Amino acid sequence: MRLRGLCTLAALAAALLAGCASSEKPKPTPLEPITPQMAGRVVWNQRIDSVQFPLSVAVSPGVFTVAGTDGTVLALEADTGRELWRGSVGNKLGAGVGSDGRFAAVVTREGDLVTLEAGRVLWRKPLAMRVTTTPLVAGERVFVLGGDRSVHAFDALDGTRLWSVQRPSDPLTLAQGGVIAAFKDTLLAGQGAKLAGFDPLNGEVRWEVTVGSPRGTNEVERLADLVAPLSRLGDVVCVRSFQAAVGCVNAERGTLAWTKGVGGTDGVAADDQFVYGADASDRITAWKTGSGDVAWQSEKFLYRGLGAPLSTGKAVVFGDSEGMVHFLSRDKGESLLRLSTDSSGVAAAPVMSGSTMLIVTRNGGLFAIRPE
């Protein structure tokens, strides 16, 4: 979620650096009363430990896989919330959770990559580096993006290291989830402000595209790493470059479709019409997917701590730092529905499995919402 105000949390080697102490934060814009224009309700509720790390919720057919700070990893039936399995890695987490439906992978704060199957720990591998990006599990491999922007591949069955690629890296990197994803037979990974396509079999770089141009007068202000989540639409993937730009890349060709200079710290969502995201002040923008032209903007949620959105059905959905879930019309950004959770703040981008949406809060609340 958001690194607020003017402060950037970064790492120099293994050390975390606090960017700048900020002045008093602006007050959140009061929420306007709305008349719901669509139906939706919480259909089940579960709980895990608090979420004090960059969490991505894994979605496989009919299953949500989540994790808590204490190292608990939990798979739930999406429609009912029924627990399918539960496991523990025995240490607090620094990143997670990636899953292909069979294997699930997380990284501990100590830098151990841990892979589970049906709740049982299969193997544990020390990485000797800081990791804040959720591992990718695909093709019986586990892929890891290191805090130093290195990329590593492991055998999902036994943890054998298959290959590693060390790319040129700046001394400062973000302490939030970066981009690593699968696209057909290509592994996508953020390399600073660039999106790179790798051969997943050997780590060979097939192409790389610059999405954002770093701005600022010092190393902290010039951080422009690609941040999660990335959004895919056919052959095109859209992504945010931290505090620098939003852009879309044709991942089949390895070419830039468009990029627009804009601030912001969280990932974006995309559909066949628009790419959606909130900037550092929580101004929401919808860019036309084909061209990057601005379609609409909304300033109704300024300073409310919006996270990365989800586009689903006729709505684009944002969670905020007070645990509110906002459903906005995709075409104009008008409020359609507002639901509350536990007020601790939404900790991860909303995800969908079938007709069920999962919202995870900082206090570990799992709220399944069914829009109607």
Q: Is the pTM of this model over 0.85?
A: yes
Write the single-letter amino acid at 151: V
pLDDT (tens digit, 0 to 9) for every residue of the chain, 372 residues total? 444 333 333 333 333 333 343 457 899 999 999 999 999 999 999 999 999 999 999 999 999 999 999 999 999 999 999 999 999 999 999 999 999 999 999 999 999 999 999 999 999 999 989 999 999 999 999 999 999 999 999 999 999 999 999 977 666 777 899 999 999 999 999 999 999 999 999 999 999 999 998 776 677 777 899 999 999 999 999 999 999 999 999 999 999 999 999 999 999 999 999 999 999 999 999 999 999 999 999 999 999 999 999 999 999 999 999 999 999 999 999 999 999 999 999 999 999 999 999 999 999 999 999 998
List the domain boundaries for the chain: 51-166, 168-267
76: tokens are 């739930």
Cβ–Cβ under 8 Å, residues 247 and 268: no
Same CATH fold assignment for domains 51-166 and 168-267: yes
Cβ–Cβ under 8 Å, residues 35 and 351: no
What letter does residue 279 receive in the DSSP assignment?
-
Query: Under CATH, what is the fold of the domain 168-267?
Result: Lipocalin (2.40.128)
Q: Does CATH place domain 51-166 in 1.10.10.10?
A: no
220-225, Cβ contacts within 8 angstroms, sequence gap of 24 or more: 220/8, 220/10, 220/17, 220/19, 220/20, 220/172, 221/8, 223/8, 223/10, 223/170, 223/172, 223/173, 223/174, 224/192, 224/193, 225/149, 225/173, 225/174, 225/178, 225/190, 225/192, 225/193
Distances (CA, A) of 226 to 65, 95, 194, 282, 301: 24, 16, 7, 18, 24
Of 57, 84, 99, nearest in space to 359 by CA: 57
